[in-house]
């Protein structure tokens, strides 16, 4: 097992997201790790997003999977507005986002609800 992540580790992983250009199309408000955005990104940018999502997920949760309030507050104090809470409709699911300049990255647990497609 590796040592716990620090805020410096997290900033190093998420800061590159600020330089990723928003793809053309009607995607204003979509998270950078949404399917619609990820499909339009270069391989390098997709890898940066995946890494950032993994690091944020690990950093913002306690070992039992519950939100790590101290970590979420530390992100916000360092200029990356963040929230992480229980889902209103799926109490076992944690939902949240972190803002990196013009982008938001979804740091929620996967949903157990079927898609509405």
Q: What pLDDT is attached to residue 10?
A: 98
pLDDT of residue 72: 98
How far apart, in whole angstroms, are the C-alpha atoms of residue 85 and residue 97? Answer: 10
pTM of the predicted model over 0.85: yes
Q: Report the pLDDT value the prediction gives residue 116, as an integer from 0 to 100.
A: 52
Query: Residues 44-94: pLDDT tens digits?
Result: 999 999 999 999 999 999 999 999 999 999 999 999 999 999 999 998 999
- Contact between 80 and 100 (Cβ < 8 Å): yes
> First CA to last CA across the chain, in angstroms?
39
Closest-CA residue to 66 (of 86, 80, 81): 86
What's the rounded mean pLDDT across residues 98-108? 98
Q: Which long-range contacts (CB under 8 A, 24 or more apart) does 81-86 make?
A: 82/107, 84/60
């Amino acid at each position: 097992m590796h040592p716990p992540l620090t805020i410096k580790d997290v900033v190093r992983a998420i800061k590159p997201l600020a330089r990723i250009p928003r793809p053309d199309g009607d995607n204003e408000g979509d998270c950078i790790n949404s399917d619609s955005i990820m499909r339009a990104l270069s391989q390098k940018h997709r890898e940066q997003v995946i890494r950032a999502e993994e690091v944020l997920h690990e950093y913002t949760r306690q070992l039992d999977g519950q939100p790590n309030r101290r970590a979420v507050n530390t992100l916000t104090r360092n200029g990356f507005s963040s929230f992480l809470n229980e889902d209103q409709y799926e109490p076992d699911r944690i939902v949240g986002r972190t803002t990196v300049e013009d982008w938001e990255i979804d740091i929620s647990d996967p949903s157990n609800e079927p898609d509405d497609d």
